[in-house]
Amino acid sequence: MAMTDSCKRLAVGGDKLDRLTDLPINVIHQIQDHMSIEDASKMSVLSRAWRYVWASNPKLVFGARFCTKRTPSDTIEIISTILFQHHGAIKTFFLDISIIPSSQHSVVDRWMLFLSRNGLVNLTLQNQNNVNAPYKLPSYVYGVGLERLGLLNCIFRPPCSFRGFHMLKWIHLMRVAFELDVAHSSLWMPNLKILCFVYCSGLHFFNIHAPELSILFLHSCGTLKLSSFMECGMLRTLGFTSQEEVSQNRQDKAMNLTDFLSCWHNVSHLILGRYFLKVLASDTRAESLPTRLTNLRSLYFAHYNFDDEDQIFALLRILRSCPNLKILQFLSSQGNIGDMEVDVNYFEEPDCAEPGLNNLQTLRISRFYGSRTELRFVRFILGFAPLLRKAILLVDSSINESQSLKISKELLRFPRASPKSEIVFEPWSKKETILVLRC
């Protein structure tokens, strides 16, 4: 009896294994995608049918965790073995080369050559720790029909014949140095939808033509050539931020806020850093923008200084032109000690920002300091936003408990145009800002 039960259990177990083996190969590969490459390779011992299943997975991920477990030489040997014993196309390849010395980048070149001949469409290379030794992308990569490209700490120097990745849909580059031939710097990207550049250099000769572009985010990229993006009529999300002051004479042409926003009137999500706001706000004393941003739903100001008149003028001018704005967010930055606060009378009249407050539902200020200008601004929003649901004020860590209590008491006394409005007063976390700015 006991033997019979044991046989039944084995039969059931074997049946489950057969069911898993009978799954379509693409489904099995999707299961393996949720496993580390080491665990996926261990599945080869399940049966003869599973011996090479993991070696045909079109997605290979060698992240920092995989590469730092062993010495650079062992890592190189293992990756080479996996690549050169692989069966079928490799469509997605993610590699962290941080532990590979720059003197051995030639082996990465060989991997790139192999991948360029095996159906690669999604490439991500991270070189986080080798700040002084960026990886130079080899020339043959520029001939691959990539759809997604992510680079960290690399050199982008295409051959003179390169005219752009015609299949590319998504590009995210961080700390990438562009070394483009001045005579051949126009790149045609007809399918590009998302472009994100962070701390990139060498963009002053960079022209990109992307008629389908819907998301554009540039952060701290030095001299910019914005004119190549002026005809991107499909833009929906737009972000320009910087950690250093951007002088107007560093742009390819003088641009004020009017020129800047009138080109992208279909934008629904706008992110602006304080330096770009000041540069692009040379005529903010005008009543409103000539182009109404009727599609704008979310407006985010990074490192906004409530004690800067130029930024206040620019804010009010944009609000006058956004009748359908629903979300207004700030990452606040405290002004220098000794700076004079702006005239708070700017926030006294309801028409100073109408109709931008008529549909506003959420106000969020991260790193809230409770300055006189900030408080008057919050009072202004609460008093003239009839549909406001939440005013989320995330208090900076420099504000002690006693100060927080005093600020919260003052906030509760402010009149409210919306009977459903709620004030959320909590400590600020840097992680929340990272999530907001992530492209």
Q: What percent of the chain has pLDDT over 70?
A: 72
The pLDDT of 108-128, averaged and rounded, is 95
**Residue 56: which residues within 8 A CB-CB, separation 6 or more?**
25, 29, 86, 87, 88
Alpha carbon separation from 239 to 202, 216, 290 (Å, rounded): 19, 6, 21
Q: Which H or E run contains 230?
A: none
pLDDT in tens, 366-416: 999 999 889 999 999 999 999 999 999 999 999 999 999 999 999 999 999
Is the link from the previous residue into 134 a cis peptide, with omega within 30 of 0? no
Contact 341, 372 (CB under 8 A): yes
Is the pLDDT reported for residue 3 higher than 60? no
Output the pLDDT for position 8: 42
136: left (phi > 0), else alpha (psi -120 to 50), else beta? beta
Output the pLDDT for position 222: 73
Is the pLDDT reported for residue 42 higher than 80? no
For 128-137, 207-216, 340-349, 422-431, which range has the lowest pLDDT when averaged over its residues?
340-349
Output the pLDDT for position 337: 43
Q: How would residue 284 be classed by pLDDT, with cut points 50, 70 and 90?
A: very low
Strand segments, DSSP code E, in 50-192 are 59-62, 92-96, 122-126, 135-136, 148-156, 170-178, 186-188
The pLDDT of 416-431, averaged and rounded, is 90
Is the pLDDT reported for residue 257 higher than 50? yes
pLDDT in tens, 55-114: 778 888 898 888 888 899 999 998 998 888 888 899 999 999 998 999 999 999 999 999
pLDDT in tens, 345-364: 667 665 666 667 899 999 99
What's CA 155's distance to the chain center, in Å?
20
Output the pLDDT for position 6: 38
Q: Which H or E run contains 237?
A: strand 237-241
134, part of any domain: yes
For 8-22, 73-87, 134-148, 290-304, which range has the lowest pLDDT when averaged over its residues?
8-22
247, part of any domain: no
* Count of structural domains, the chain: 2
Residue bearing the bigger pLDDT, 42 or 80: 80
One domain, residues 211 and 287: no
Is the pLDDT reported for residue 268 higher than 90? yes
25, part of any domain: no
Structure tokens at 113: 């050559």
Name the packing angle between helices 72-84 and 105-116 (round to 10°): 10
One domain, residues 62 and 211: yes
**Residue 128: which residues within 8 A CB-CB, separation 6 or more?**
64, 96, 98, 152, 153
239, part of any domain: no
Residue bearing the bigger pLDDT, 149 or 259: 149
Q: How would residue 2 be classed by pLDDT, with cut points 50, 70 and 90?
A: very low
**Residue at a domain's end among 234, 251, 279:** 234
Is the pLDDT reported for residue 146 higher than 50? yes
278, part of any domain: yes
Q: 262-274: buried (b, 16+ CB within 10 Å) or exposed (e) per residue? A: ebbbbbbbbbbbb
Output the pLDDT for position 166: 94
Strand segments, DSSP code E, in 337-380 are 362-368
Contact 274, 308 (CB under 8 A): yes
One domain, residues 224 and 289: no
Residue bearing the bigger pLDDT, 255 or 243: 243
11, part of any domain: no
387, part of any domain: yes
Distance, in Å, from the CA atom of 276 to the CA atom of 226, rounded to the nearest integer, reads 12
The pLDDT of 135-160, averaged and rounded, is 95
Nearest to 173 by CA among 141, 192, 157, 196: 196
Is the pLDDT reported for residue 277 higher than 90? no
Distance, in Å, from the CA atom of 239 to the CA atom of 270, rounded to the nearest integer, reads 6
Distance, in Å, from the CA atom of 210 to the CA atom of 228, rounded to the nearest integer, reads 9
Alpha carbon separation from 388 to 347, 382, 400 (Å, rounded): 17, 7, 28
Q: Mark out the alpha helices in 85-203 (DSSP H runs).
A: 105-116
Q: How would residue 10 be classed by pLDDT, with cut points 50, 70 and 90?
A: very low
User: What burial class does residue 183 get, using C-beta atoms within 10 Å of its C-beta: 0-12 exposed, 13-18 middle, 19+ buried?
Assistant: exposed
Q: How would residue 14 be classed by pLDDT, with cut points 50, 70 and 90?
A: very low
What's CA 16's distance to the chain center, in Å?
42
One domain, residues 183 and 292: no
Check the CA dihedral 293-272-239-188 and report its sign.
positive
The pLDDT of 280-309, averaged and rounded, is 78
**Residue 419: which residues within 8 A CB-CB, separation 6 or more?**
none
Output the pLDDT for position 87: 83
Is the pLDDT reported for residue 314 higher than 60? yes
Residue 209: give the domain boundaries. 57-234
The pLDDT of 23-27, averaged and rounded, is 55
Structure tokens at 381: 């929003």
One domain, residues 67 and 194: yes
Structure tokens at 22: 């009978």
Output the pLDDT for position 353: 62
> In sequence order, what DSSP letters do the residues of 181-218 get, joined into one string?
-GGG-EEE-TT--EEEEES-B-GGG-EEE-TT--EEEE
One-letter amino acid for residue 191 of the chain: N
One domain, residues 370 and 423: yes
163, part of any domain: yes
One domain, residues 229 and 275: no
Is the pLDDT reported for residue 11 higher than 70? no
One domain, residues 188 and 314: no
Q: How would residue 280 be classed by pLDDT, with cut points 50, 70 and 90?
A: low
Output the pLDDT for position 432: 66
What number of CA atoms fall less than 13 Å from residue 274's CA on the CB side? 20
Is the pLDDT reported for residue 15 higher than 60? no
